[in-house]
């Protein structure tokens, strides 16, 4: 128990108190969650409490109360009373920009109490739940049940509920809207019409209903997930797209504790803490969504290339984070969009392979010599990084029975891949 109390004391000491300032981005928040009068039990060193939690709003109706067991503050730490304060969110984001995910999570939960919830997709954002658990504070989790998730994702939901002794609140799409969409356009209309309509029905609208019952929410967004759309995600912001419990623009705060953390660091944390993860990750899946719209990626591919792969790179967002579109018009070389750049692999010993050469090679024609072919795009940072070494490699093999060649996939003469 001493260790638990010590950890919580350290967390509380390291997280700065809320800043009070500004006139343009003030937000009224709950600065603590009171457990006064509630029974706190110690179960093998882990504290838990039966606390009342407001259920997520459905269709704008008043939220009902339900009993749920969630991790609570240790019995040795006095819970703070609810305090109202006005917070300058941009200033708070600046103050917390160098904070750890644990510190950011602790700040979010302490400020909003029962009026905040973690959005869990069933991917590596399970790290958010582990961080929330480590704060020792009560927390809520919700997920969008689209009806088309992978079986592995449902199994992870079950594991998470058992490990953390929580109940995930599932938000379902409107049955009438889903029926109408399927009856008029079929089960896989998104392969032809794009994914936006289906995502709007199955994800965006259910999310909107959920957020109407909250004052803040916590997401697993990271800047490195999608350079074209998430590169400037702050650790906390006034949600620019959705409204919260009080209604109107600016009524919802969005927390992104993993914003400045790399995917590699997230996975290191998950392994260290032995957190259950989606089994699809071991099969090459990185970004995980609905089953028809998610696939594994190859080594070196960006994680978002496993989502909606039949669409333009600029469209790889489902609408849940519409506030991050400020850089959609910027070059997205990491996602595969063509931009202007000087050609690569132009060494004198690198043979240029055009479409005809590639087709002949694929058919086994003209195989007097062995061939090494690099398929590249001049704007791709990975291709640029290997340019010099590949040219040197070609020089070393000059005059041998090996043909070293390059195929620029952005030209109209290249083989289709």
User: What pLDDT score was predicted for residue 349?
Assistant: 79
In-domain check, residue 343? no
CATH number at residue 163: 3.40.50.620
In-domain check, residue 417? no
Q: Which of 105, 317, 128 is nearest to 230 (CA)?
A: 317
Beta-carbon-side half-sphere exposure of residue 344 (alpha carbons within 13 Å): 25
Assess contact for 170 and 145: CB atoms under 8 A.
yes
Check whether residue 322 and residue 399 sit in a common domain: no
In-domain check, residue 218? yes
Check whether residue 322 and residue 357 sit in a common domain: no
Question: What tens digit of pLDDT does each residue of 199-236 get?
Answer: 899 999 999 999 999 999 999 999 887 655 557 899 99
User: What pLDDT score was predicted for residue 110?
Assistant: 98
SS3 sequence, the chain? CHHHHHHHHHHHHHCCCCCCCCCCCEEEEECCCCCCCCCEEEECCEEEEEEEEECCCCCCCCCCEEEEEEECCCCCCCCCCCCEEEEEHHHHHHHHCCCCHHHHHHHHHHHHHHHEEEECCCCCCHHHHHHHHHHCCCCCEEEECCCCECHHHHHHHHHHHHHHCCCCEEECCCHHHHHHHHHHHCCCCHHHHCCHHHHHHHHHHHHHHHHCCCCEEECCCCCCCCCCCCCCCCCEEECCCCCCCCCCCCCCEEECCCCCCCHHHHHHHHHHCCCCCCHHHHHCCCCCCEHHHECCCCCCCCHHHHECCCCCHHHCCCCCCHHHCCCCCCCCHHHCCCCCCCCCCCCCCCEECCHHHHHHHHCCCCCCCEEEEEEECCCCHHHHHCHHHHHHHHHHCCCCCEEEEEEECCCCCCCCC
Q: What is the total count of domains within the chain?
A: 2
Assess contact for 56 and 209: CB atoms under 8 A.
yes
Domain extent, residue 403, equals 351-408
CATH number at residue 364: 3.40.30.10
Cβ-Cβ contacts under 8 Å for 291 (sequence gap 6 or more): 148, 149, 150
User: What pLDDT score was predicted for residue 215?
Assistant: 97
Check whether residue 277 and residue 327 sit in a common domain: yes
User: What pLDDT score was predicted for residue 50?
Assistant: 32
In-domain check, residue 136? yes
User: What pLDDT score was predicted for residue 392?
Assistant: 85
Q: 380 an active-site residue?
A: no
Task: Choose the final residue of a domain: 274, 297, 331.
Answer: 331
In-domain check, residue 325? yes
Residues in the chain where the model's pLDDT stays below 70: 1-85, 226-230, 300-304, 306, 308-310, 312-341, 353-358, 361, 366-367, 379, 381-382, 409-417
User: What pLDDT score was predicted for residue 360?
Assistant: 73
Check whether residue 97 and residue 208 sit in a common domain: yes
Check whether residue 172 and residue 79 sit in a common domain: yes
Assess contact for 232 and 327: CB atoms under 8 A.
yes
User: What pLDDT score was predicted for residue 396?
Assistant: 83
Check whether residue 365 and residue 286 sit in a common domain: no
**The one catalytic residue among 198, 293, 318, 380:** 318
In-domain check, residue 413? no
Strands 169-171 and 216-218: unpaired
Residue 43 exposed, middle or buried by CB count within 10 Å (0-12, 13-18, 19+): exposed
Check whether residue 48 and residue 126 sit in a common domain: yes
User: What pLDDT score was predicted for residue 367?
Assistant: 66
């Amino acid at each position: 128990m001493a260790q638990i109390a010590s950890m919580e004391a350290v967390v509380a000491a390291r997280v700065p108190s809320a800043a009070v300032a500004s006139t343009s981005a003030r937000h009224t928040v709950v600065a603590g969650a009171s457990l006064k009068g509630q029974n706190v039990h110690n179960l093998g060193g882990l504290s838990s409490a039966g606390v009342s939690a407001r259920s997520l709003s459905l269709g704008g109706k008043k939220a009902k109360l339900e009993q749920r067991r969630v991790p609570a503050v240790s019995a040795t730490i006095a819970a703070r009373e609810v305090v109202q304060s006005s917070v300058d969110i941009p200033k708070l984001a600046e103050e917390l920009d160098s904070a750890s995910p644990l510190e950011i999570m602790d700040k979010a939960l302490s400020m909003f109490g029962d009026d905040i919830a973690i959005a869990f997709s069933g991917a590596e954002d399970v790290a958010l739940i582990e961080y929330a658990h480590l704060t020792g504070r009560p927390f809520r989790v919700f997920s969008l049940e689209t009806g088309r998730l992978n079986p592995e994702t449902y199994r992870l939901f079950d594991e998470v509920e058992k490990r953390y002794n929580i109940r995930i609140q599932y938000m379902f799409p409107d049955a009438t809207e889903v029926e109408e969409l399927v009856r008029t356009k079929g089960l896989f209309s998104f392969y032809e019409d794009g994914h936006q309509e289906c995502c709007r029905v199955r994800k965006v609208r259910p999310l909107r209903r959920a957020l109407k019952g909250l004052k803040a929410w916590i997401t697993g967004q990271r800047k490195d997930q999608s350079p074209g759309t998430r590169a400037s995600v702050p650790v906390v912001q006034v949600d620019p797209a959705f409204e919260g419990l009080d209604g109107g623009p600016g009524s919802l705060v969005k927390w992104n504790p993993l914003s400045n953390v790399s995917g590699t660091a997230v996975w290191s944390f998950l392994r260290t803490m032995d957190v259950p993860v989606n089994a699809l990750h071991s099969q090459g899946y990185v970004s995980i969504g609905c089953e028809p719209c998610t696939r594994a990626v190859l080594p070196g591919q960006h994680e978002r290339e496993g989502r909606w792969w039949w669409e333009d790179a600029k469209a790889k967002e489902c609408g849940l984070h519409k506030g991050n579109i400020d850089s959609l018009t910027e070059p997205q070389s990491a996602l595969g969009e063509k931009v202007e750049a000087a050609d690569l692999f132009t060494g004198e010993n690198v043979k240029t392979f055009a479409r005809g050469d590639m087709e002949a090679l694929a058919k086994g024609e003209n195989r007097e010599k062995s061939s090494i072919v690099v398929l590249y795009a001049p704007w791709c940072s990975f291709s640029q990084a290997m340019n010099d070494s590949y040219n040197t490699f070609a020089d070393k093999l000059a005059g041998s029975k090996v043909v070293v060649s390059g195929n620029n996939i952005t030209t109209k003469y290249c083989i289709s891949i």
